[in-house]
Amino acid sequence: MASASLLKSSPVLDKSEFVKGSQTLRQPSVSVVRCHPTAPSSLTIRASSYAGELVKTAKTVASPGRGILAMDESNATCGKRLASIGLENTEANRQAYRTLLVTAPGLGQYISGAILFEETLYQSTTDGKKMVDVLVGQNIVPGIKVDKGLVPLVGSNNESWCQGLDGLASRSAAYYQQGARFAKWRT
């Protein structure tokens, strides 16, 4: 028989407790961030030592009047764009194309986050600045596509599934070190 725990949160008492049946359980050791929006209700978020950074990232990405730039095209897809204007699909041409995107004047006024392809995360602009640093300099949060693309689902009726769970933890740690602060996973 399955059992469940319930988190009871009280903005009035400014405390939370886990309850299982009539028994109060010991809280796990995590930090608590309280967000008090203009609405009378309160939201409790339990997170690790990254709680402050998580809240800052979420607020930046959700900035009013700004959106997310999806520039996480695979090298093959980027190559199709380049071919449509008569350019060869080379790393130098992809770099020039992506440099054009991240250095567009006033980009940070309209874009709050940018989803990058793995190559782009580690790439520099044509004048040698890290793409991530150029984005951060415009108050744009760099993100990363973490899935590894669709593959056919064996035994299905033309269905696909997304691969990439293998090694996700180590890749995510490396992406974070490189400057990515959020992730996209295709479903």
pLDDT of residue 149: 85
Entry pTM: 0.71
Structure tokens at 181: 């602060």
pLDDT of residue 7: 42
Q: Tell me if residue 154 falls in helix, strand or coil.
A: coil
Please tell me the distance from the alpha carbon of residue 167 to that of residue 83, in angstroms, as a whole number: 33
For 155-172, letters b (16+ CB in 10 Å) and e give: eeeeeeeeeeeeeeeebe
Residue type, 35: C
Q: Where are the domains of the chain?
A: 6-49, 67-184
144 contacts 118 by C-beta, under 8 angstroms: yes
pLDDT of residue 48: 76
Collect all residues with Cβ–Cβ distance below 8 Å to 113 and sequence separation of at least 6: 60, 61, 68, 69, 140, 141, 142, 143, 182
Q: Strand pairing partners for 44? A: 34
Pairing of strands 141-145, 111-116: parallel
CA atoms within 13 A on the CB side of 132: 18
Mean pLDDT (the chain) is 83
Domain 67-184 has CATH 2.40.30.30: no
Rounding to the nearest 10 degrees, give the CA dihedral for residues 80, 164, 172, 133.
0
pLDDT of residue 44: 64
Pairing of strands 31-35, 43-47: antiparallel
Per-residue pLDDT of the chain (187 residues; tens, 9 = 90+): 343 434 444 444 444 454 455 555 555 445 555 555 555 556 666 667 788 899 999 999 999 999 999 999 999 999 999 999 999 999 999 999 999 999 999 999 999 999 999 999 999 999 999 999 999 999 999 999 998 888 999 999 999 988 888 889 999 999 999 999 999 998 7
133 contacts 123 by C-beta, under 8 angstroms: no
